[in-house]
Structure 1
Amino acid sequence: MDFYTLIQILVSSIAATSAMTLFSYAVSATARELYKEPVLLSYILSHLHLEVLPSVKNILAWILHYIIGLGFIIVYHFLWDYNILELTWPIGILLGAISGIIGIITWYVLFKIVPQKPNIDFKGYYLQLFAAHIIFGFIAFEVYILF
């Protein structure tokens, strides 16, 4: 992988993850619910008895959130680069929807693992998570083609 491709993947990842996170924060504020992925990741880490300072746990949650976004973009890149899927905006949205389903399943499992569930509207959270990932896929495509 050359430097140019690495930058393309990193910038796409940061932009897409940031866009979906902003969407989640906006929906969270509008619905007056906790739909913020980094906050919920920090909650999960707390209940997995991770022995670090709370501030470190919050930073770790944000880093994990962006690393997961990077993982999705790496998969998108290989699907596009090897012409497995076309590099089009509908495919970007489709990849976002698939990522959303993966995200919902992952969060469902994480919430089952922790002994104390967060006090959130799970149905609302999963719906906004799906929509957030569609935004993620679309922004990933748009930024990716800029390069």
Structure 2
Amino acid sequence: MDFYTLIQIVVSSIAATSAMTLFSYAVSATARELYKEPVLLSYILSHLHLEVSPSVKNILAWILHYIIGLGFVLAYHFLWIYKVLELTWPIGILLGAISGIIGIITWFFLFKMVPQKPNINFAGYYTQLFAAHLIFGFIAYQVYILF
């Protein structure tokens, strides 16, 4: 992978993860619910008994959130360059939908791992998470084709 392609993937993942996160924060504020992925990741990390300060857990949660976004865009990239899927905006949204399903399943199991569940509306969280990933897939596609 050349440097240019790496930049294309990284910038696409940062833009897509940021757009998705802004959407989640907006829905969280509107619904008056905790639907913020980095905050919930920090909550999960707190229950994994990491011996670090809460501020370090928050930073780790944000880094993890963006690394996961990078992983999704990297997978999209390989699907596109090996022509498994077409490089189109509907496919970007489809990939976002698939990522959303993966995200929902992952969060379901993460919440099962912790003894005390966060006090959130889980159906609402999973619904907004799916919608956020549709945005993620679309923005990942849009930024990716700019390069």
Give the drift of 1:13.
0.3
What TM-score, normalized to structure 1? 1.00
- In 2, the alpha carbon distance for the partners of 1:82 and 1:98 equals 18
In structure 1, the residue corresponding to 2:111 is in which secondary structure? helix
Paired residues in the alignment total 147
- In 1, the alpha carbon distance for the partners of 2:34 and 2:8 equals 32
Residue matched to 2:114: 114
Residue matched to 1:9: 9
- In 2, the alpha carbon distance for the partners of 1:67 and 1:130 equals 18
- In 2, the alpha carbon distance for the partners of 1:22 and 1:64 equals 16
Residue matched to 1:66: 66
Give the drift of 1:126.
0.1
Residue matched to 2:130: 130
- In 2, the alpha carbon distance for the partners of 1:54 and 1:92 equals 36
Residue matched to 2:48: 48
Q: Which runs of 5+ in 2 are unaligned?
A: none
In structure 2, the residue corresponding to 1:42 is in which secondary structure? helix
Residue matched to 1:39: 39
Give the drift of 1:21.
0.1
In structure 2, the residue corresponding to 1:43 is in which secondary structure? helix
Residue matched to 2:82: 82
Q: Which runs of 5+ in 1 are unaligned?
A: none
- In 2, the alpha carbon distance for the partners of 1:38 and 1:19 equals 13
- In 2, the alpha carbon distance for the partners of 1:83 and 1:144 equals 15
- In 2, the alpha carbon distance for the partners of 1:86 and 1:110 equals 32
Task: Please state if 1:28 is matched with 2:28.
Answer: yes
- In 2, the alpha carbon distance for the partners of 1:116 and 1:47 equals 9
Give the drift of 1:27.
0.1
CA offsets per residue over residues 6-29 of structure 1, 9 Å max, x none?
000000000000000000000000
In structure 1, the residue corresponding to 2:33 is in which secondary structure? coil
Aligned-pair Cα RMSD in Å? 0.3
CA offsets per residue over residues 73-112 of structure 1, 9 Å max, x none?
0000000011110000000000000000000000000000
